Each structure stands twice: as structure tokens, then as C-alpha cells.
Structure 1
Amino acid sequence: MVDFVGRRQELATLERELQKVALGVGGERPGRCVMLRGRRRVGKSRLVERFAERSGAPFLFYAATGASPKADLTRLAQDARSSTLPSAGLVAAARPESWDAAFDVLAAALPADRVSVVVIDEVPYLMDPEGAFEGMLQRAWDRVLETKPVLLVLIGSDLSMMEALNSYGRPFHQRGREMILGPLNPAEVGEMLGLDPAEAFDAALVTGGLPLICAEWPRDAGLWDFLGEALSDPVSALLVSAERSLAAEFPPQAQARTVLAAIGSGERTFTNIARAAGGIGSTPLQRALDLLTDKRIVAAELPVSTGPSKDRRYRVTDPYLRFWLHLLGPSMEEIERGRGDLTLARIRESWTSWRGRAVEPLLREALARILPTGGLPAAPAVGGYWTRTNDVEVDIIGADRAPIARTLLFVGSIKWLERSPFDRHDLAVLHRHRAALTDEPVPIMAISRSGVDCTGLDAAYGPGDLLAAWPL
């Protein structure tokens, strides 16, 4: 199935956890718990459904709605009826009115002589500020659920709340194994779509590695063919996925949504974001930025160097969301009128400049994954450097730590153009910028989409070299 390209490792992890439950059948506490988190629409629910179906074990898949406690408990009874648990009728018939009662009847429905799987999807919908649900879950797990040979899988899209579920001082602390499901990486996207390495990076930027969007990209089709097709369909996954995710994350009046749009439009500094967000005050802007960074939607980054800096910059972490906010979201009315061709023309005009900056975090991640190689040492921190006025801007800094390094390990430049290799002029700029950073002769390197047309670099990498950072 297309939505399971690259999910071998995650399926294997779940299968190992279920095997540990099986080995504990007959013991005092054979139950195990996995807490799976990941951004919306990366395929968490489908992954676990696929695993449960493949396991052959009886299972219950329950999806919370967050409508109300009563509605969620009613939904549990409904989902129990369609489950394969042999005694699921107990849950459906009991109609529990609290989660304490629901967990008790659920434990009674679980077989004692064979493994089973229970999945609770969208756990953050059930969590409350007072921690009541977490307390009930902890008591049920310690008292009854863990005594059954069950694999309990808790799924959530709110990353900060799922992290809090297992944090120190919370009721469910250390009762489950944490597992993170990310989007398909560039190598997986390339394999799925039949693209060469350079094209795979482009596709990863546009789709964000989201399986639903990748599934609509015809195999072997180029970027512009895909975009032309997607922009002619107002309900394509490329167009609607971002809006649905944002609607789930923020109420319509949320100020953070306005701030996110400003960052997505290309603004990176506090002052410019405030201006683009309609002149928002510093205090509400900081609250919005704190919310966005807490939810991992936005990254707040400082330059990497041997000295301190307050020149913090912000960026949207999800490449697809960044693409949508900058190039698709502002044109949705036009697309819905059937003029996606106008949107496509604007994307073509701004593509090279947008991609040049958008691809930098992805390339830095790839470089960090493959080091040490090509004459460069491993680097605990790989980031960038800039000044407030941008008179010095270095695409890649390798260092022993970030943001304030003791030692710089290398400096580098990214040139991500189709027909323009890294040349001696780029090399001269890189030398000048290195001299502004350090007096030490640290190695210099380049990442280039179209090769290198000069000598004097200590290392150079192309799309194929970096795509190997994610082995299939």
C-alpha cells in the first residue's frame, strides 16, 4: 500500500512490543503500553490499524472526538461493537458513565490467555488541565489493565500534550514506551514516486512527506505536472490538508494562526513578524510564538557561533505547511474559481528563491546524518549563522554544540540551483564569511544541486550523497 512505504521500522517496533506481551502471558503483569505521537496526517492511525490487522490478535480501535466526556464514552461503546475482542459486548452493554468505569469493563473484556491490542486514538482530546483522565488511566493501568496480556497504544497529534503525558510528575509517567512517527523522509518519497535524488528533495518540500499527498502524485511524474493536476482540483490533498490541520490546531479566532501566517509568508524576525501580523503588540506576539514553538509548528533558532547572539529567527518546521502558507493559502479563492493556472504561474516565478531557503533545514539534517564522511568530522550541532543586518550569512556551521560553540568544526555554503554549479565566486564569498567568523582554518564545504566547478573545498555533496542519509 502506498501509505506504508518506509514504515517497516515502525511496524517492526510495534510487532516487537506485542511479542513481549506474548512472552508474558501467564505472568503477573504482561501488559505493555506504547505512546505514539506525530503531526496530523502523517499516518499514525493507519499505521496502527495496519499493525493490528496484521498481528492477528483481537483488537479494539477507539477514536476520541473531544466533543464531550459523554459523547466520547458513547463512542467507546460504539467502537467496541465493531472490534474483534471476543467479549467486546461487555463494553457496549455496560454504557459506562466515567472513564474509571470504562477502564474496568474494558479490562474485563480483555482475554487473559492470549494477546490483544487496544488503541486509543487522539488521546489529547481526553486530557484535561486538572489531569483527571491521566489519573484514571494510571489507576486503571496499575490496577487491572497491565495484568492482562494487552498492548495498549495511545496515539496523539498534539506533540506537547503527548510529551506531557509521559513527563515527570504526571500520573502516567514511565508507564509506556514513547514512539514518534514522522512524515516520509526524502528517500522514501523518492522511492514511492520514482524520482531521482534532486527531484525527491523537491517533492519532500512540497508534500512534506505526508502519505495522503504523496499518494496523489503519479509515479514518475515531475513536480510541475503534479502541481498542475493538484491545483485544478480544489479538494486535492495538497490543497485541503493544511487547512484541516490548522483548523484542528487553532480555533478560527486564534491569534497564533495570524502569527503563523506571517512566518509562513517569509518573515523571520520578531519585528517583521509583528508588522506582518498587523502590528501586534510584543506581549501577545510572544505568547503566540510560545504557543507555536510549544506545539512544534514553529522553530525558534539562534545562529551557531563561538559568541552569544540574540538574533533569533523563526521558521515553520513542516515543509508542506510552509509551502502551503506561502504559495497556496493566499490563492485558495482563486483556485476555487478554477484559476489554479494563475497560482501555478506565480509558484513558477518564485520557486527558485523559495526553495533555496526552504531546503536548507532539510539539507542540514541530511548532512548531520551522514557525517563523518568526505573528509568532514561528525558534528554534534549543524546549523547556520547570520547577523542582524545579514552582512554575514553562512548556510552551514558544524560545531561541537549550539548555539554557543566552543569549537567550530566546519563552515559551508548551499547552492541549490538547476543549472548553476558551485563556482570560484561562491568559494570566495565562503572564504570571506569564514574569516568573519573565526581566525582558525576550519574546513570549508559546499552542498550543490548542480555540482562543483572549482577547487579548494575540503568536501562537497550533491543530492545523491545527501539522500543516502535516509537508508531504505
Structure 2
Amino acid sequence: MHRFIGRERELRVLGAALARVREGGGGQKPGECVLLRGRRRVGKSSLVEEFLGRAEVPYLFFTAAGGSAEDELTELADAVASSTLPERSLFAEEAPNQWNAAFRLLAEILPDDRPSVIVIDEVPYLMDRIDAFEGMLQRAWDRLLSRKPVLLLLVGSDLSMMEALNSYDRPFHQRGREMVLGPLNPADIGDMLDLEPAAAFDAALVTGGLPLVCAEWPRGASLWEFLRTSLDNPISALLVSAERSLAAEFPPQAMSREVLRAIGSGERTFTNIARAAGGIAHTTLTRATDLLTAKRVVAAELPVSLRPSKERRYRVADPYLRFWLAFLDPHMAEIERMRGDLALTRIKERWTSWRGRAVEPLVRESLARLLPDDVLPAAPAIGGYWTRGNDVEIDLVGADRQPVAKELLFLGSVKWLENASFDSHDLAALHKHRAAVTDEPVPLIAVSRSGVDCAGLQATYGPEELLTAWREN
């Protein structure tokens, strides 16, 4: 099936957890808990549904809706009634009106002689809306649920809250194994859509690897064919997924939305973001950027170099959201009037320059996965370097740590153009910038979409090499 390309590893992890439950059936606490987190729309629920379909054990799948404690209990009762737990009718007879009682009754109706699965989706809603939910969950797990052969899957999209659930000062600390579900990676996308390596990276920048968006991309279709079709459909996943995710995380009136728009438009420095967001106050902007970085929506980065720097830069962390904010969000009214052709023209005009910067984080992550190789060592930190006035800007800085390194391992340039190779002029610029950063003969590398046309580099990488970094060995 399309949507599960690239998810075999995650299915194996869940299958292994269920196998441990099955094998530990005679122990005092055979139960296992997995905390599954990932950004909205990366396919967490679909992954769990596929796992349940393969597992062939009794299960309960409950999704919190963000309502009151009473409303959530009503939803839980409905979920139990439609579950495959053999004793589910007992839950309806007792109809618990407190969460402690609901957990206790849930433990009672779980089978003793065979494994079962309980899924609680959107756990952060319960943490946020129900008093002492984490404490009740912890007590129920320690005293009741973990004594049954059950796999408890706690699923959530709010990354910071899901991390907090397992932190050392919280009731549920160390009771679950953490599992992170990322988007489909460039290799997965290339396989799913039958694309060449360079085109797979383009697709990764536009779809962000979101399965719902990728599922609307016809196999073998070009980027421009996909965009033309999506922009002609006002309810396409490409157009609506971002708004739905943002609406769930940030209320429309929140200043975070304005700040995110400013960063998405291409502003990277604190001062320029403040100006683009309407000249908001320093403290307001600080609160907004702190919230956006805590939720992993925005990345705040410092230059990697041998000396400290305060030149923090901001970028939208998710490639799809970055694309949507830059090209789609400002023109949604136009697209809804069925003038997606105007948006497509704008994208074509700005695509090369936008892509050149947008691909850099993906290149860095690819190298981090690829190294060490025959030429370069493993690099614990791969970032970039810049000065306030951008008179020196280096796309790739490999170092022993970040942001202040003890040793630079390599410096490099990314040239991601359709028809222009990395040439001697690019190499001369890289030499000049290296001299501004260090006197040492640090190895120089190039990453180019269209090959390299000069000598004097320690290593070169193209789309094919970068894509191999994402394939499982």
C-alpha cells in the first residue's frame, strides 16, 4: 500500500513490543507501553491502524477530542463499545463517570490469557484538559494495566508535551519506550512516487514527506504536473493540510501565527521578523519564537564556528510548511477563486532561489546520515556559518560540536541548480570564506545538483549519494 512505504521499520518496532508482551505473559508485569509522537499528519494513526490490522489481537482505539473530562469519558465508552475487547459489554453496564474508575474497569475487561492493545490517541489533549491525568494514568498503569498482557500505545502530535510526559519530574517517567514517527524521507518518497534522486529531493521540499500529500502525487509525475493539479483543487491535501495543523496548535488570534508567517516569508533575523510581523514588541516576539521553537515548528540556529556568536537565525523547520507559507498561504483567496495558475507562475519564478536555501537543512541531515565515508570522518555537528552582514556565508560546516566548535572537520558549499555545475568560481569563493573562518587547511567539499566542474575539492556529493544516506542498510 502506498502510504506504508517506508514504515516497515516502525511496524517492526511495534511488532517487537507486542511480541515481548506475548512472551512475558507469565510475569508479574507483562504489560508494555510505547509513547509514539510525531507532527500532525505524518501518519501516526494510519501506522497504528495498519499495525492493529496485522497484529490480529483484541484492541481498543480511543482518540481524545479536546473536550471536557466528562465528554472524553463518553467518547471512551463509545470507543470501548466498538472495540474488539471480549468483555467490552461490562464497561457499558458500569458506565464510569471518573477517569480513575474508567482505568480500573478497563484493566478488568482486558484478557488475562492473551495479548491485547490499548491505543490512546491525542494524549496531550487529556494532559491539558483533565486535572491530574498523568498521575491517574501512572497509578492505573503501575497497579492495574501493566499486570495484564497489554501493549499500551500513547500517541500525540504535540511534541513538547509528549516529551514532557516521559520527563524525570513527571508521574509517568520511564514507564514507556519513546518512539518518534517522522515524515517519509526522500528515499521513501522517491520509491513511492517513482522519481529520480534530484526530483525526490524536490518532492521532499514540497510535500515535507507527509503521506496524505504524497498520496495525491501521481507516480512518475513531475513537480509541475503535481503542483498544477493540486492548485486546481481547493481541497487538495497540499493546500489544506498546513491550515488544519496550525489551527490545531495555534489559535487564529495568537501572535505566533503572525511571527510564523514572517519567518515563512523568508525573514530570518529577530529584527526583520519583528518588522515583518507588524513591528511587535520585543517581549511579545520573544514569547512567540520561544513557543514556536518549543513546538518544533521553527528552528533557531547559531553559526557553527570556533568563536561564539549571537547571530541567531530562524527558519520554518518543516519543509512542507515552509513551502506553504512562502507560496500558498498569502494567495489562498486567489486559489479558491480557481486562479491557481497565478500561484503556479509565482512558484516557477521564485523556485530556483527558494529551493537553493530550502534544501540546505536537508543536505546537512543527509550528510550527517552518510558520514563517515572514504574521505570524511563522522561529524557530530553539521551546520552553517554566517556573519551579521552576510559578507561571509558558508552552507556546510562540519565540526566536533556546535555552536562553538573545538575543531572544524570540513567546510562546504551547496549549489543546487538545474543546469549549472559547481565550478572554479564557486571554489574560489569557498576558499575565500574559509580564510575568514580559520587559518587551518580544513577540507573543502561541494554538494551539487548538477555535478562538479573543477578540481581541488576533498569530496563531492550529488543527489544520488545523498539519497543513499536515507536507505536502510
Give TM-score scaled by structure 1 length: 0.99
Cα-to-partner distance string for 1:128-187 (whole Å, 9 max, x where unaligned): 388600000000001100000000000000000000000011000000000000000000
User: What does 1:303-382 correspond to in 2, within 5 Å?
Assistant: 303-382=303-382
| Aligned-partner SS, 1:119 | strand
Structure 1 segments of 4+ aligned residues over 4 angstroms from their partners: none
* Long gaps (5+) in structure 2: none
Aligned to 2:74: 74
Instruction: Please state how far the C-alpha of 1:93 moved relative to its aligned partner.
Output: 2.8
> Are the equivalent residues in 2 in contact too, given 1:374–1:460 (CA < 8 A)?
no
| 1:257 aligned counterpart, secondary structure | helix
Flag the 1:315–1:63 CA change in 2: closer, same or farther, 3 A.
Answer: same
Q: Does 1:186 align with 2:186?
A: yes
User: 406-415 vs 88-97, which deviates more?
Assistant: 88-97
CA shift for structure 1 position 190? 0.5
C-alpha contact (below 8 Å) 1:159/1:295 kept by paired residues: yes
Please give the secondary structure, in 1, of the residue aligned with 2:445. Answer: strand
Q: Which residue of 1 aligns with 2:24?
A: 24
Secondary structure of the residue aligned to 1:224 is helix
Counterpart for residue 459 of structure 1: 459
Provide the residue aligned with 2:136 in structure 1.
136
The alignment partner of 2:128 has SS state of coil
- Report what 1:278 is aligned to: 278
For 1:89 and 1:254, the matched residues in 2 are separated by 44
Tell me the C-alpha RMSD between the 2 structures. 0.9
Letter in 1 for 2:82: S
Quote the Cα distance in structure 2 between the aligned partners of 1:43 and 1:305.
Answer: 37
State the alpha-carbon separation in 2 of the partners of residues 404 and 25 from structure 1: 50
Distance (Å, rounded) in 1 between the aligned partners of 2:374 and 2:381: 17
Q: Structure 2: how far apart are the matches of 1:180 and 1:433?
A: 38
Question: Matched residue of 2:27: which SS?
Answer: coil
Q: CA deviation at 1:94?
A: 2.3
SS in 1 for 2:311: coil
Amino acid at match of 2:120: I
Deviation at 1:368, TM superposition (A): 1.0
- The answer on 1:229 being equivalent to 2:229 is yes
Is the Cα–Cα contact under 8 Å of residues 263 and 315 in structure 1 kept in the other structure?
yes
CA deviation map 1:326-361 (0-9, x unaligned): 101111000000100000000000000100000000
Question: Equivalents in 1 of 2:176, 2:93: separation in Å?
Answer: 29
Alpha-carbon distance in structure 2 between the residues aligned to 1:202 and 1:463: 10
Once the two structures are superposed, residues 425-448 of structure 1 have per-residue CA deviations (whole angstroms, 9 ceiling, x without a partner) of 000000000000000001000000
Q: What is the CA distance between 1:409 and its match in structure 2?
A: 0.6
CA distance in 2, matches of 1:183, 1:93: 42
Q: Secondary structure at the match of 2:344?
A: helix
SS of the residue corresponding to residue 127 of structure 1 reads helix
CA distance in 2, matches of 1:413, 1:291: 32
Q: Deviations over 1:242-272 (max 9, x none)?
A: 0000000011111101100100000000000
* Residue equivalent to 2:205: 205
Residue range with higher mean Cα deviation, 52-61 or 126-135:
126-135
What residue is the counterpart of 1:127 in the other structure? 127
Residue aligning to 1:393 = 393
* Count of equivalent residues: 472
1:267-304 C-alpha deviation (Å, 9 max, x unpaired): 00000000000000000100000000000000100000
SS at match of 1:96: coil
Residues 380 and 401, structure 1, Cα contact 8 Å, conserved in 2: yes
SS of structure 1 residue aligned to 2:127:
coil
Aligned to 1:440: 440
- Residue range with higher mean Cα deviation, 441-450 or 86-95: 86-95
Give 1:372 shift.
Answer: 1.2
2:402 is aligned to 402
Aligned-partner residue type, residue 352 of structure 1? T
Q: CA deviation at 1:460?
A: 0.3
Instruction: Quote the offset at 1:374 in angstroms.
Output: 4.4
Distance 1:227 1:160 in 2: 33
Deviation at 1:27, TM superposition (A): 1.8
Distance 2:227 2:144 in 1: 52
Matches within 5 A, 1:216-295: 216-295=216-295
**In structure 2, the residue corresponding to 1:134 is in which secondary structure?**
helix
Q: 1: distance between equivalents of 2:93 and 2:291? A: 41
8 Å contact 2:67–2:129 — kept in the other structure?
A: no
Q: Does 1:450 pair with 2:453?
A: no
Q: Secondary structure at the match of 1:33?
A: strand
What is the CA–CA distance in structure 2 between the aligned matches of 1:5 and 1:345, rounded to whole Å? 32
The alpha-carbon deviation at position 90 of structure 1 amounts to 1.8
Secondary structure in structure 2 of the residue aligned to 1:248: helix
Report the secondary structure of 1:267's partner residue: coil
Q: Measure the CA separation in 1 of the matches of 2:324 and 2:92.
A: 42
What percent identity do the matched residue pairs reach? 70
Q: Is the 8 A contact 1:38 1:44 kept in 2?
A: yes
Alpha-carbon distance between aligned partners in 1 of 2:131 and 2:95, rounded to the nearest angstrom: 23
Partner Cα separation in structure 2 for residue 241 and residue 466 of structure 1: 28
Of 432-441 and 88-97, more deviation after overlay is shown by 88-97
SS at match of 1:242: helix
Matches within 5 A, 1:10-49: 10-49=10-49
State how far apart, in whole Å, the 1-side matches of 2:321 and 2:374 are: 33
Residues in 2 aligned to 1:446 and 1:326: alpha-carbon distance in whole angstroms? 27
CA 1:182 to 1:270, structure 2 compared with 1: closer, same or farther past 3 Å? same
Secondary structure of the residue that 1:396 maps to in structure 2? strand
| 1:62 and 1:79 in contact (8 A); partners too | yes
Relative to structure 1, the CA distance from residue 70 to residue 131 in structure 2 (aligned partners, 3 Å threshold; closer, same or farther) is closer
CA contact (8 A) 2:69 2:130 kept: no
Q: SS at the partner of 2:296?
A: coil
